Amino acid sequence: MKKIITVSIVDDEADLRKHIAGYLAAAGNIRCQSAYASAEEALEHLPRDKPDVILMDINLGEMDGIECVRRLTAIMPEAQVLMLTVFEDTDQIFRALAAGASGYLLKRMPPKKLLEAIGEVSAGGSPMSAPIARKVVHSFKTSPAPDSQTAELSPREKSVVDGLAGGLAYKQIADQLGVSIHTVRNYIRRIYEKLHVRSRTEAVAKFLRK
């Protein structure tokens, strides 16, 4: 029997929340647990809801979805957040991933692909819409030349980047190192600061070219 994946939606468009909830209900093994129209509502209720996956829009009003992700991952380190948005510029992508998002999807993607992405992120993956993946790959190819900053990483921080380079999810890295996901996120924030990067992709690109 397939495990039921619980999903919470954070989007300020009521019709879209309703449509997505309908897609999830038709999937059979996915259940819409809750839906919120603002980041403030999400921060208040999601720690109690504890969904397996959170679908997060960026344009939410007073507090945007990226800041919401940053705050959520601080209080819910195991949260698997999928950005679901119309924005596909590189800066927004990197900001969302650096904030702790596990994947980045465009709203125009077919419902079937959305359901597949929910299953993928629930299993520890990092799904991205094809146009987003291309931008990430382009960023990897055009990342700055390496410098001495990678030498400043501690052995444990280098192990974390090795895990990221191997495509491991934060939980897998935590299990491998025998630490909590919260500790892994703290390592990653320090790595970003030392390497002067904004996302796991940039960190891996810089580290691999040392």
The verdict on 177 and 118 lying in the same domain is: no
> Residue 189: which domain range?
143-208
Q: How far is CA 3 from CA 7, 29, 82, 165, 187, in A?
A: 13, 7, 19, 29, 31
Rounded (to 5) percent helix, strand, coil in the chain: 55, 15, 30
pLDDT, mean over the chain: 84
The verdict on 103 and 165 lying in the same domain is: no
- Tell which residue, 82, 70, 124, has the closest CA to residue 107: 82
The verdict on 121 and 156 lying in the same domain is: no
Q: What is the pLDDT of residues 124-155, one digit of tens each?
A: 788 888 878 777 666 655 555 555 555 578 88
pLDDT of residue 209: 53
Q: What is the pLDDT of residues 5-29, one digit of tens each?
A: 999 999 999 999 999 999 898 888 8
Residue 182 has pLDDT above 80, yes or no: yes
Average pLDDT over residues 35-41: 96
The verdict on 128 and 172 lying in the same domain is: no
The verdict on 109 and 168 lying in the same domain is: no
Residue 87 has pLDDT above 80, yes or no: yes
Residue 56 has pLDDT above 80, yes or no: yes
- Binned at pLDDT 50, 70 and 90, residue 201 comes out as low
pLDDT of residue 18: 93
More confident site: 198 or 56: 56
The verdict on 109 and 157 lying in the same domain is: no
In the structure, how many helices (H) and strands (E) does the chain have?
A: 10, 5
Average pLDDT over residues 161-184: 83
156: domain CATH number?
Answer: 1.10.10.10
How many domains does the chain contain in total?
2
The verdict on 112 and 193 lying in the same domain is: no
The verdict on 26 and 91 lying in the same domain is: yes
Q: How far apart are the first and last CA of the chain?
A: 46
94: domain CATH number?
Answer: 3.40.50.2300
The verdict on 134 and 147 lying in the same domain is: no
- Binned at pLDDT 50, 70 and 90, residue 168 comes out as confident
Torsion angle of the four alpha carbons 135, 136, 142, 146, in this order, in degrees rounded to the nearest 10: 170
The verdict on 104 and 80 lying in the same domain is: yes
The verdict on 159 and 114 lying in the same domain is: no
Task: Copy the structure tokens of residue 51.
Answer: 């969904």
pLDDT of residue 9: 97
Choose the most confident range, by mean pLDDT, from 32-36, 123-127, 191-195. 32-36
Residue percentage of the chain with pLDDT more than 90: 39
Residues 146, 42: contact at Cβ < 8 Å? Answer: no
